[in-house]
């Protein structure tokens, strides 16, 4: 029963969880439309169906560092990056954080503690460990959160990193987006077990399996993992979820024969689950939820127009 992990404090944050997840989905749908219309060249790697993983960002402290994956849009929003900042990165604005010199899915906002990703799958894990080492040496009361997909466990540098993390007891939390696929290859073609804990525990890292489609379980588990890491026990959250959309805006859907799985996981849509909670236990009406959706849609559209205007001013300067 997931309710055993849901305390009152988490319950009162359900509206924030809902806004974050819905904003992420609407934003990524907007980006995909822009790509289809030829308005942008940058590609999006949507986290459709995985938005609940983003609420882990609400459990982080301002001084904590985040090394996201290329499919971690929701947690980057939760850490403080805005929709307009993302749009400016998408269009390669010279006045944006990265000066238009990096691809969209590597967007980083270091002043918010959001660090760069990498095109090398799992390649940001060693960098995250190095940052956590610095935190430990400086006695900082903070942790580093590194987000990777389960497909990253075929990368040798991930295992080398985890060996050092466990040996040195670094203040690092590893969050695994365990959606069961490496592009189009299902987990059973890539490793013996879907669960990641058996591979990680041997490195001296405490583990917890998480319902990655439950925002409540994700948040509560991240609170637990952060406390473990601060106490000298690096932790891993193995978040079982499913990618309900295509691989990317330019790659489409490479998987075949997934219709039954999609139907099953769509019934477990994380946004729908929080909608149900808000209506049944949070005193929120369907009309109010529709109002939230409309506000977010209008805000995203306004952010796109502001980003274009800002880019135009930069180019004219």
CA trace torsion 77, 238, 192, 71 (10° rounding): 0
Cα dihedral sign, 82-33-69-214: positive
Q: How many domains does the chain have?
A: 1
Q: Are 46 and 28 in contact (CB under 8 A)?
A: yes
CB 49 within 8 Å of CB 124:
no
What confidence tens digit (pLDDT) does each residue in 228-251 have?
999 999 999 999 999 999 888 888
Q: Contact 146/125 with Cβ under 8 angstroms? A: yes
Q: What is the structure's pLDDT at 101?
A: 80
Tokens 């295509």 belong to residue: 246
Report, as an integer, the average pLDDT of 83-94: 93
End-to-end CA distance of the chain: 58
Return the pLDDT at 4.
46
Q: What pLDDT score was predicted for residue 316?
A: 55
| Most confident among 14-28, 184-198, 250-264 (mean pLDDT) | 14-28
Between 121 and 149, name the one with better pLDDT. Answer: 149
pLDDT given for residue 11 in this prediction: 61
Lookup: tokens for 134 = 């610095």
Q: How far is CA 155 from the centre of its chain?
A: 20
CATH of the domain at 265: 3.40.50.970
Q: Which of the two residues, 151 and 135, has the higher pLDDT score?
A: 135
pLDDT at residue 9, as a whole number: 53
Whether the Cβ atoms of residue 40 and residue 90 lie closer than 8 Å to each other: yes
Task: Decide which of 12 and 44 is more confident.
Answer: 44
What is the domain extent for residue 256?
Answer: 2-316
Report which of residues 271 and 120 the model is more confident about.
271
Q: What is the DSSP letter of 171?
A: S
CA dist., res. 139 & res. 171, Å (int): 10
Residue 1 has pLDDT above 50, yes or no: no
Return mean pLDDT, the chain.
Answer: 91
102-114 average pLDDT score? 89
Grade residue 79 by pLDDT with cuts at 50, 70 and 90.
very high
Portion of the chain with pLDDT greater than 90, in percent? 74
pLDDT tens string 167-219 = 999 999 999 999 988 888 888 888 889 999 999 999 999 999 999 999 999 99
Per the listing, tokens 């808000």 go with 278
Cα distances (angstroms) measured from residue 9 to each of 13, 59, 64, 118, 279: 7, 12, 21, 35, 17
The pLDDT of residue 6 = 52
């Amino acid at each position: 029963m997931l309710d055993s992990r849901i305390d009152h404090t988490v319950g009162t944050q359900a509206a924030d969880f809902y806004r974050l997840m819905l904003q992420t989905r609407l934003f990524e749908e907007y980006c995909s439309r822009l790509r289809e219309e030829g308005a942008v060249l940058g590609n999006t790697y949507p986290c459709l169906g995985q938005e609940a993983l983003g609420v882990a960002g609400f459990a982080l402290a301002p001084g904590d560092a985040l090394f996201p994956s290329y499919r971690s849009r929701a947690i980057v929003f939760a850490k403080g990056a805005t929709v307009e900042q993302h749009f400016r990165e998408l269009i390669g604005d010279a006045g944006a954080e990265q000066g238009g010199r990096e691809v969209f899915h590597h967007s980083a906002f270091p002043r918010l503690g959001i660090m760069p990703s990498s095109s090398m799958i799992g390649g940001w894990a060693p960098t995250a460990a190095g940052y956590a080492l610095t935190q430990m040496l400086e006695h900082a009361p903070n942790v580093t959160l590194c987000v990777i997909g389960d497909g990253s466990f075929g990368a040798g540098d991930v295992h080398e990193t985890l060996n050092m993390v466990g040996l040195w007891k670094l203040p690092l939390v590893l969050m695994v987006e365990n959606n069961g696929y490496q592009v189009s290859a299902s987990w059973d073609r890539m490793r013996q077990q879907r669960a990641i804990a058996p591979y990680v525990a041997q490195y001296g890292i405490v583990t917890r399996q998480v319902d990655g489609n439950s925002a409540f379980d994700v948040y509560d588990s991240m609170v637990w993992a952060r406390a473990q890491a601060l106490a000298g026990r690096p932790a891993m959250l193995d978040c079982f979820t499913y990618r309900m959309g295509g691989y990317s805006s330019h790659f489409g859907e490479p998987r075949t024969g997934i219709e039954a799985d999609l139907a099953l996981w769509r019934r477990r849509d994380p946004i729908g689950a929080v909608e149900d909670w808000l209506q049944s236990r949070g005193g929120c009406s369907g009309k109010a939820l529709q109002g939230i959706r409309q506000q977010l849609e209008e805000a995203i559209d306004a952010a796109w127009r502001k980003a274009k205007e800002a880019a135009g001013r930069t180019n004219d300067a």
